[in-house]
């Protein structure tokens, strides 16, 4: 997971925000045409044959009625932020975010997916700068995993156990603070396997995923993760699925998306498009509005991603498609990266964009 937990949705007032495109401007004709084909009252969850999820923070839903209504109306799966910052100091946990969604699920028909148990980015300093021995480090990580998974046993359907252990552009093991606790890649990968085992011990019924990014642009990464999954299976390591984040842009080649989905599905593991968004300004140009051409390209790319997933991943392996952030106002690219972009299917005012209808159509194919 590239993005970290978003604590505020007030970015709608940010100077970096792109003004929402109204249906009265140059995109209006496209939206009108789309609605002639697709029932404008159809929801994502009403047409999907697998769970459609959203990753957003509890504060947004608790404080913004329109956002809350969208989450309830459109989605059947919720990715719950459970980064390592949930344990800000050793043996002290803050379960507020996760507890919110567990309570939410009691009154909403929604599947909960935890993200993510072990991830160096955003982890507190006591973990990333661990002062003890490797054995003590492992005991701390084991306690972290089992405390969280055990608390939500039978409530979280699945977990991303570990996130992004490779370099973005290759399958080589990244030199993260956790990797540096070990003498070599082999001993580090044994630790990674133990993370899965510890999670399984805490909740034997939970589905366990490995999550990573940029498969669609790095065939070598795809092959490395396929080999890792095969090694996990041979060693009896409990792994049930692979998350492909799918942070793509309007210029990402369709063939890369196609090939990565085919190869990942060849593992026989569940495949989760886990963090989908599609940026319209990949070159980071100094723009103030989104053109009709950008909107059309984004609409088509959302349709392509959904339709390829349906066509290429066998139904029994379709764990679902999850969108990363609800609207352009709270997108991680805008909030965290300070980018001028609009990667989501809802605009900054939580209105449907052409991208919404592209995703809807792709789910129907």
Provide the annotated active-site residues. Answer: 164, 275
Residue 105: both structure tokens together:
């699920």
β partners of residue 77: 53, 111
Structural contact between residues 55 and 327, judged by C-beta atoms closer than 8 angstroms: no
Closest-CA residue to 56 (of 93, 104, 19): 104
Structural contact between residues 271 and 313, judged by C-beta atoms closer than 8 angstroms: yes
Contacts by 178-184 with C-beta closer than 8 Å and gap 24+?
Answer: 178/118, 178/120, 178/128, 181/130, 181/134, 181/137, 182/134
- Show the CA angle centred on residue 77, arms to residues 37 and 83, nearest 5°: 130
Distances (CA, A) of 272 to 167, 205, 230, 247: 20, 18, 18, 13
């Amino acid at each position: 997971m590239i993005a970290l937990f978003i604590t505020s949705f007030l970015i709608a007032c940010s100077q970096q925000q792109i003004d929402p495109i109204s249906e009265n401007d140059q995109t209006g004709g496209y939206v009108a045409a789309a609605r002639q084909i697709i029932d404008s009252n159809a929801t994502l969850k009403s047409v999907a044959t697998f769970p459609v999820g959203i990753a957003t923070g509890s504060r947004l839903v608790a404080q913004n009625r329109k956002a809350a209504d969208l989450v309830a109306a459109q989605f059947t799966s919720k990715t719950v932020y459970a980064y390592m910052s949930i344990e800000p100091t050793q043996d002290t946990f803050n379960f507020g975010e996760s507890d919110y969604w567990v309570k939410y699920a009691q009154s909403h028909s929604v599947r909960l997916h935890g993200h993510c148990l072990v991830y160096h980015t955003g982890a507190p300093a006591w973990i990333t700068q661990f002062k003890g021995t490797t054995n003590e480090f492992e005991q701390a990580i084991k306690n972290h995993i089992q405390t969280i998974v055990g608390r939500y046993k039978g409530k979280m359907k699945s977990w991303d156990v570990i996130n992004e252990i490779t370099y973005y552009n290759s399958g080589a093991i990244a030199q993260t603070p956790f990797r540096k606790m070990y003498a070599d890649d082999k001993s580090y990968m044994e630790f990674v396997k133990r993370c899965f085992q510890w999670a399984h011990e805490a909740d034997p019924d939970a589905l366990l995923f490995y999550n990573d990014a940029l498969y669609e642009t790095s065939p070598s990464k795809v092959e490395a993760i396929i080999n890792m999954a095969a090694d996990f299976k041979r060693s009896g390591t409990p792994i049930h699925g692979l998350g492909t984040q799918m942070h793509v842009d309007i210029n990402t080649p369709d063939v890369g998306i196609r090939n990565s989905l085919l190869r990942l599905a060849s593992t026989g593991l569940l495949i989760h498009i886990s963090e989908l968004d599609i940026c319209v300004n990949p070159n980071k140009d100094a723009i103030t509005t989104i053109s009709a051409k950008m909107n059309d390209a984004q609409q088509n790319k959302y349709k392509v991603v959904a339709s390829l997933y349906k066509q290429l991943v066998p139904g029994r392996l379709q764990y679902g498609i999850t969108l990363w952030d609800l609207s352009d106002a709270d997108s991680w690219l805008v909030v965290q990266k300070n980018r001028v972009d609009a990667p989501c299917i809802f605009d900054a005012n939580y209105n449907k964009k052409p991208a919404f209808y592209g995703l809807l159509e792709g789910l129907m194919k």
